[in-house]
Amino acid sequence: MTTPAHADSGPSSFGSSRIDTGADTSWLNAGDIQAALADNRCEDAGLVREILAKARELKGLATRDVAALIQIQDPALLDELFASARWAKEAIYGRRIVLFAPLYISNFCGNSCTYCAFSKENTTLKRRALTIDEIKHEAEVLIDQGHKRLLLVAGESYPNGLKYVLDALEAIYALRLGNGEIRRINVNLAPLSVDEFRQLHEIGIGTYQIFQETYQRDVYAAAHLGGKKRDMDWRLTAPDRAMQAGIDDIGLGVLFGLGDWRFDVLALMNHAAHLEATYGAGCHTISVPRIEPAHGSDFSRSPLNPVSDADFKKLVAILRLAVPYTGLIMSTRETARMRRETYALGVSQISAGSRTNPGGYAAHAETVALPDEDGREDFDASQFSLGDHRPLDVVVRELAELGYTPSFCTACYRNGRTGEDFMHWAKTADIKQKCGPNSVGTFMEYLLDYGQPETVRAGEAAIARDLAEMGDAERRVSTVILDRIRAGKRDVFC
């Protein structure tokens, strides 16, 4: 374990070179958002059905449309909302659900965030910054499980500034373990300068992900008491700087439970619209985490604006209709039950077998041998508590049994289908022609190389179902890919 004496004092260069990029935050107009909510205080069944019909055109929704859907309370209208969300997701992406794992490399941080265990004020947290060898070992454990996609995560303070992250990315990309490898690494990092984002882009990251946490300025100020993260505008404009540096796949998110979820959903839509209007591509993904208990944070156990399960499911469905081409990410913060329920509401990406403490995967692999639900994360070194502790293979099997197609696909990144080009494929629903073959191909790789017998049986049945439901051209491409994989080839995609 490496614990540099300077690690909690902040990096020497990470995000330190602020330059005026011309990005502004005028799109975040609280008055306009409040007006939209005020104008749609009452549920209007006729208007709701008009908006749901509009949503089925798969062109997205305006702010006031979203504000009207937020008011839905009637169970019958909720059912129509949920049915529309599922239809929209399957119309664009089919039944595939992409799987990934977060990889935490450091829990040192220079910020004081009231809801987060990594807060620099938390003196009870076990701090750790992994060495490059330890990072490689964590990635090897994940490769052994069958993962192909990672989300690299770190607090806003660690040795050697951004170089630490760049070295970690290079080391993971270089790993080969039998038939396994990590083919794409997305990153969740604190805001950077344009020059620093350019370095991330040059090393070949996938999506740059950043959560605004809340778009309500008063709540943001109350929740972020110190450190660079207190500068809300610097965080708001991070996606602009990333896109200016050439990173054209951006992931946004809100930490639900901080601000009023209704306000934050509308602000999130404005943020996505701003990116699309300015750079030709909106956000590639949207994450919907809720505050969960965090070690050393009393606030996390009693959030300011808790979001009920009913409202949570509603906002997931609304987001799917508002930005139908965007990937919706559901993390293991949520319970297995809630995750199952949101699969049918438009979720298209999930994490599985997650650990949120640096070194957690290797430690877990050494102490837990049985693939059951008893494994628990090292809570006093983790960012937050998990709701779904099940290993990857159990989640994969459940998805197949529920009628979904587990996917480990990274084809779009490596075929150049990113940013504006990806948006074109998604908005025309043509991306489904690629998602189908690539999903069954990567799923077959998993079944042959990592699947347990029960999972293999469920997976083979799911792939047969998918092939039967495909059009002729899509089935022909899928059959070629599957035949090559069964013959021993790997990483076959279209």
Q: So where are the chain's domains?
A: 35-88, 93-406
Q: Please, which residues have CB within 8 angstroms of residue 90's CB and are 6 or more apart in sequence? A: none
Alpha helices, H only, 324-403: 336-343, 360-367, 392-401
* Residue 87, φ and ψ in degrees, nearest 5: -60, -45
pLDDT at 374: 45
The enclosing H or E element of 146 equals: none
Instruction: Give residue 125's pLDDT.
Output: 86
The tens-digit pLDDT sequence of the chain (494 residues) is: 333 333 333 433 344 444 444 578 999 999 999 999 999 888 999 999 999 999 999 999 999 999 999 999 999 999 999 999 999 999 988 999 999 999 999 999 999 999 988 899 999 888 899 999 999 999 999 999 999 999 999 988 878 889 999 999 999 999 999 999 999 999 999 999 999 999 999 999 999 999 999 999 999 999 999 999 999 999 999 999 999 999 999 999 999 999 999 999 999 999 999 999 999 988 999 999 998 877 777 887 888 899 999 999 999 999 999 999 999 999 998 999 999 999 999 999 999 999 988 999 998 877 654 444 444 556 555 565 678 889 999 999 999 999 999 999 988 778 777 767 776 666 766 776 788 899 999 999 999 999 999 999 999 999 999 999 999 999 999 999 999 999 999 999 89
DSSP 408: -
What pLDDT shows up at residue 12? 36
DSSP code of residue 212: -
Residues 6+ apart with CB under 8 A from 289: 211, 253, 254, 255, 256, 331, 333
Helical (H) or strand (E) element with 421 = helix 419-427
CB 408 within 8 A of CB 349: no
The residue type at 370: L
Predicted pLDDT of residue 87 = 97
Compute CA 315 distance to the chain's CA centroid, rounded to the nearest angstrom.
16
How many Å apart are CA 238 and CA 333, to the nearest integer? 25
As a whole number of angstroms, the distance between CA 351 and CA 288 comes to 12
Q: How far apart are CA 187 and CA 210, in angstroms?
A: 9
Where in 94-141 does DSSP place strands (E)?
Answer: 96-106, 112-113
What is the number of other CB atoms lying within 10 angstroms of the CB of residue 9?
12
pLDDT score, position 373: 42
Phi-psi region of 412 (alpha: psi -120 to 50; beta: other; left: phi over 0): alpha
Rounded CA-CA distance 438/433 in Å is: 9
Q: Quick check: 286 and 40 in contact, CB under 8 A?
A: no
How far is Cα 56 from Cα 88, in angstroms, rounded to an integer?
Answer: 7
What is the model's pLDDT at position 8?
37
Using DSSP's 3-state secondary structure scheme, residue 355 falls into: coil
Helix (H/G/I), strand (E/B), else coil: 252: strand
Q: Which amino acid is at 229?
A: K
**What per-residue confidence (pLDDT) applies to 257?**
95
Please answer whether residues 43 and 74 qualify as being in contact, where contact means their C-beta atoms are separated by less than 8 angstroms. Answer: yes
**Residue 4 Cα distances to 160, 162, 363, 379, 492, angstroms:** 10, 15, 21, 22, 42
* CATH placement of domain 93-406: 3.20.20.70
Fill in the DSSP letter of residue 300: G
Its sign, for the CA torsion 470, 475, 477, 482, is positive
Alpha-carbon distance 80 to 78, whole Å?
Answer: 5
Copy the structure tokens of residue 46: 């006729």
d(CA 464, CA 411): 22
Strand (E) positions, 340-461?
Answer: 349-351, 405-407
